[in-house]
Chains A and B, each alone.
Chain A
């Protein structure tokens, strides 16, 4: 699966999608879900929480391991995807459809400054041995 070109990415394997209303949806990438394997637990940040860029704010756990999810930019949490509480495996089945939480970024420019799909692919390739 290739990484969609309409999304932005972080080196810590989050994807970021800018919605029509200017908020951003955040999830974990295909590469991240593949590394972690079968997902069994998702813990999202509280709505209303103010986050700094690169702050630990959520956790995904597979059968194998737990991984932190980081805020891609500074901003406020405006929504979380509660569907993942009972169906965390959606992250495995559709990583770019299964958003975890939404933020209102402090600066839209911070989002534009994140990596595009091609730059992120370089990060993924550099991790493979």
Chain B
């Protein structure tokens, strides 16, 4: 099978990257030392090729109403244009199809960024749901549910014409590339390279984006550091990459991206959650809005099945390295590590683990590593953000 390549493939090779097969993509794992790259991002800044991730534009009348129904987090939290929201997209049974970020640009346009490995599946699902949504959502004046009060109308019909979305389009933006520039000095370096975008992006708060013509710039990321994710035309990305490098931004591989996101306590789809588990067992309860009246795909299943497990952070007390799929033994039963590695910031091994819900912060658990049982402590994550450890002890 031929590996897929991003438009930066030649640049990675020219910069001495070690390339690996990452879910069918030929991607840089490091350009030398993964640990040095990790510290570089925490202490200064670095750039990541994230062109393999997919940008999807949802446009048309009723797009907000559609997203309100499609996603577990509530699109109504997005009041100001430019604001972004992290959400899970669920199956009717509550399993996680993907996690994604939506950017509210206007009532006619929401931009969605989804994971590389799930992009095709996600888009097919969105299109299928959009078609059904448009059909289902014809104003139902004869519905016996409607007794006159808004509270009695089916949730999908609430909002009347706004919810009627026959014009909704879901477009995969295969013409766009994406580069993440992350670290305390990341924004300054982007402005050095793209001075024309400074005025529009200087005032961006965390989780806000600005559409600057060819450049769509968001103050988001996957490292626990400040920075931008920049979407731009594919033809321009190599030039942008080299210009950033010339401005003093070194390239960072997927290896450091993984330890940075793990320290920041950010889930990785396919490891920390997938279609077989729900968001409430995956540390994503904060992104699931179960309080509002709003219905969404998967809501009924989540309400019907309270979780028996939860995601916690672990710090290894003994010598060794925690890894995905290692078994965790607690006083309340077994669990499993979903992501584990060595934390360059803490200089200890850390992990995310799915354990029985009774397990509490501060508990000691045992992790089976090869032929040994090693001691680990349950901690509140994130482990590290903004350049330093965020653990209390």
Contact = CB atoms under 8 A, between A and B. Distances in A.
B342 A63 contact: yes
Interface residues of A, number: 12
B315 interface: no
Interface stretch (A12-20, A35-43, A47-55, A116-124): A35-43
Contacts of B344: 63
Given A59-B370, A63-B342, A64-B255, A41 B321 contact: yes
A40 B29 CA distance: 17
Nearest to A56: B370
B33 A43 contact: no
Contacts of B370: 59
Interface in B310-330: 319-321, 323
Interface residues of B, number: 17
Contacts of B259: 63
A37 B33 CA distance: 7
B136 to A, nearest CB: 47
Contacts, number: 37
Interface string A16-29: 00000000000000
Q: Would you call the interface of chain B mostly helix, strand, loop, or mixed?
A: mixed
A66 interface: yes
B321 A38 contact: no
A64 B341 CA distance: 7
A37 B321 contact: no
B319 A41 contact: yes
Nearest to A59: B370
B35 A38 contact: yes
Interface in A81-97: 85, 92
B34 A37 contact: yes
B208 interface: no
Interface in B8-27: 18
A81 B30 CA distance: 28
A77 B180 CA distance: 49
A63 B320 contact: no
Nearest to A35: B18
A63 B29 CA distance: 12
Nearest to A68: B370
A61 interface: yes
Contact of B255 (A43, A63, A85): A63
Contacts of A63: 34-35, 255, 259, 341-342, 344
Given A63-B341, A63-B342, A64-B29, A38 B34 contact: yes
A37 B342 CA distance: 12
A38 B323 CA distance: 16
Contacts of A59: 370
Contact of A61 (B29, B255, B321): B321
Given A40-B342, A41-B342, A66 B34 contact: no
A24 B341 CA distance: 32
Interface of A: 37-38, 40-41, 43, 59, 61, 63-64, 66, 85, 92
The 6 closest A-B CB pairs, nearest first, are A40-B342, A38-B35, A61-B321, A63-B342, A38-B34, A41-B321
23 contacts: A37-B18, A37-B29, A37-B33, A37-B34, A38-B33, A38-B35, A40-B321, A40-B342, A40-B349, A41-B320, A41-B321, A41-B342, A43-B320, A59-B370, A61-B321, A61-B342, A63-B34, A63-B255, A63-B341, A63-B342, A64-B34, A64-B255, A92-B33
Interface of B: 18, 29-30, 33-35, 255, 259, 319-321, 323, 341-342, 344, 349, 370
Given A61-B320, A85-B319, 15 more contacts: A37-B30, A37-B33, A37-B34, A38-B34, A40-B321, A41-B342, A43-B320, A59-B370, A61-B321, A61-B342, A63-B34, A63-B255, A63-B344, A66-B321, A66-B323
